[in-house]
């Protein structure tokens, strides 16, 4: 009769799956922030859409507990303020 897997092995397997999923989500957030900043600095009209996409990714990550809600709120606030200063500088 084969030995059953221990719960520790399953916990390790599941934590690895979660780690990879969280890593992917964090990477998507960072990519969207970089994309938005690049477009905003060039004063590209696409910056508005990039801002909305970035906010959506931040809210999704915060809702899933990948980043804290305060971190998401802080990043959104800073990026919105950055966007507003870039718009007024035009």
Quick one: tokens of 55? 């906010």
pLDDT at 5 over 80: no
Directed axis angle between helix 47-63 and helix 7-41, to 10°? 160
C-alpha to C-alpha distance for 65 and 1, rounded to whole angstroms:
41
Q: What are the Cα distances from residue 42, in Å, to 38, 74, 83, 88?
A: 6, 23, 11, 14
- The rounded distance, in Å, linking the Cα atoms of 32 and 21 is 17
Q: How far apart are CA 8 and CA 23, in angstroms?
A: 22
Residues 15-70 pLDDT 10s = 999 999 999 999 999 999 999 999 999 999 999 999 999 999 999 999 999 999 99
pTM: predicted TM-score of the whole model, two decimal places:
0.83
Enter the DSSP assignment of 44.
-
């Amino acid at each position: 009769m084969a030995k059953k897997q221990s719960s520790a092995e399953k916990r390790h397997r599941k934590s690895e799956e979660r780690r990879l999923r969280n890593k992917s989500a964090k990477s998507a957030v960072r990519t969207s922030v970089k994309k938005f900043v690049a477009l905003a600095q060039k004063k590209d009209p696409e910056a508005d859409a990039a801002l909305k996409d970035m906010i959506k990714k931040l809210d999704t990550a915060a809702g899933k507990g990948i980043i804290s809600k305060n971190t998401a709120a802080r990043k959104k606030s800073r990026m919105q303020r950055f966007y507003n200063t870039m718009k007024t500088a035009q």
